[in-house]
Amino acid sequence: MRISKTLAITMGDPGGIGPEVIVKALSSTDVRGTFHPIVVGDAGIMRDAVILSASPLKVRVISHVGESEPGDGVLEVLHMKCRLASRRGISTKSAGKACFQYIDKAVKLALQREVQAIVTAPLSKESLNMAGYAWPGHTEMLAELTAADNFAMMFVSKKLKLILCTIHISLKDVPSRINEGIVFRTIKLAQTGAEMLGIKTPHIAVSGLNPHAGESGIMGNEEREAIIPAVKKAQKDGIRVSGPYPPDVVFHKAYNREFDMVVCMYHDQGLIPFKMLAFDTGVNVTVGLPIIRTSPDHGTGFDIAWKNMASPSSMIEAIKLAAKMKI
């Protein structure tokens, strides 16, 4: 079988469920196709995850992508020599350092076109901070590592697709960040993200910030001063976009396929309905990078880590989507 795409899968926090869900996903027939996965991480940890999961996969250690030999029943690991604490189910400084090295390596491989996409297993923000890194998550780290200054978080499932104007900020700070520029930029990124998914002429909906989308200024002015001007500007650019719609209505409409993508004003506005619908199968995509990056839409799962309890469903979907997407 001809391999058309190589994926780098970062192992994620070694104390979390990342290694386990990677092994379970790559053991599944659902992810077999014309792509080849290479795990960037620790070979010893991945062997432990194979044993934990009772997987038939055999770990093969490689030192660079050129040594890769795709084959059934093999889990190739690009081994990174990081000193790791043996503590599982908690955040550690050594895990934070290791996670950064895994991601940094995968990004370099993608920028050099040695791999065609990256899939990132969950990391602990606390581990990152303990290791001295100030990024609040993968998204901001990846943007800096790829020198991207125009990016957004997009979430993909069969029933709902959405993108966020603001990401990891306090709720009290959201209104001051909502302006015409950021909403317009996110609408444009929504168009880009939809095209990466193969949706040629997407219909994009924009959510309001306030109840009833502001009710003509009665419940807030952000819609009149920022969101409506951005929508009109995007329409003049030929984008099929409408809104703002009341937040309590727009997701129902998107669920019923009236819209292909929803532009959301803040993190939980979009993530609450999304995780209600696709908690185990949702995929996080970073739009605006010069590389393809997907991730399962869940965290490190420290409470169930290394107990053979984690579901690989979201990782499976993240791998499948990375293999299909185009940039």
Q: What is the pLDDT of residue 136?
A: 83
Q: What is the pLDDT of residue 2?
A: 52
The domain 5-147+291-324 having CATH identifier 3.40.718.10: the answer here is yes
Question: What is the per-residue pLDDT across 241-274, written as a single tens digit (0 to 9) for each?
Answer: 999 999 999 999 999 999 999 999 999 999 999 9
pLDDT at 3 over 60: no
User: At 174, which helix (H) or strand (E)?
Assistant: helix 174-177
Scored b (16 or more CB within 10 A) or e, 91-120 reads: bbebbbbbbbbbbebbbebbeeebbbbbbb
Question: What is the per-residue pLDDT across 108-142, written as a single tens digit (0 to 9) for each?
Answer: 999 999 999 999 999 999 999 999 999 988 999 99
Long-range CB pairs of 218-224, under 8 A, 24+ apart, other chains included: 220/175, 222/175, 222/178, 222/265
Averaged pLDDT, 51-68: 94
User: Could you tell me if 25 and 55 are in contact, meaning their C-beta atoms sit under 8 angstroms apart?
Assistant: no
Instruction: Quote the CA–CA distance of 265 and 223 in Å, as a whole number.
Output: 11
If one compares 213 and 21, the residue with the highest pLDDT of the two is 21
Instruction: Quote the CA–CA distance of 240 and 93 in Å, as a whole number.
Output: 46
Q: What is the pLDDT of residue 220?
A: 84
If one compares 82 and 260, the residue with the highest pLDDT of the two is 260
pTM for the whole structure: 0.93
Averaged pLDDT, 189-213: 95
pLDDT at 228 over 90: yes
User: Could you tell me if 168 and 136 are in contact, meaning their C-beta atoms sit under 8 angstroms apart?
Assistant: yes
Model confidence at 85, pLDDT cuts 50, 70, 90, reads low
Model confidence at 17, pLDDT cuts 50, 70, 90, reads very high
Q: What is the pLDDT of residue 205?
A: 98
3-state secondary structure of 177: helix
pLDDT at 86 over 80: no
Domain boundaries, the chain: 5-147+291-324, 152-273
Measure Cα distances from 74 to 26, 40, 49, 60, 77 in Å.
Answer: 9, 14, 14, 7, 10
Averaged pLDDT, 211-233: 91
Q: Which residue, chain included where needed, has tokens 């040629």?
A: 200
Q: Where are the beta strands (DSSP E) in the chain?
A: 5-10, 35-41, 58-62, 74-79, 117-120, 152-156, 161-164, 204-207, 241-245, 261-264, 283-287, 293-296
Q: What is the pLDDT of residue 214?
A: 72
Q: What is the pLDDT of residue 98?
A: 94
Q: What is the pLDDT of residue 84?
A: 77
Model confidence at 63, pLDDT cuts 50, 70, 90, reads very high
Top-level class of domain 152-273 = alpha beta
User: Do the domains spanning 5-147+291-324 and 152-273 agree at the CATH topology level?
Assistant: yes
- Helices 267-278 & 247-255 angle (0-180, nearest 10): 40
Model confidence at 1, pLDDT cuts 50, 70, 90, reads very low
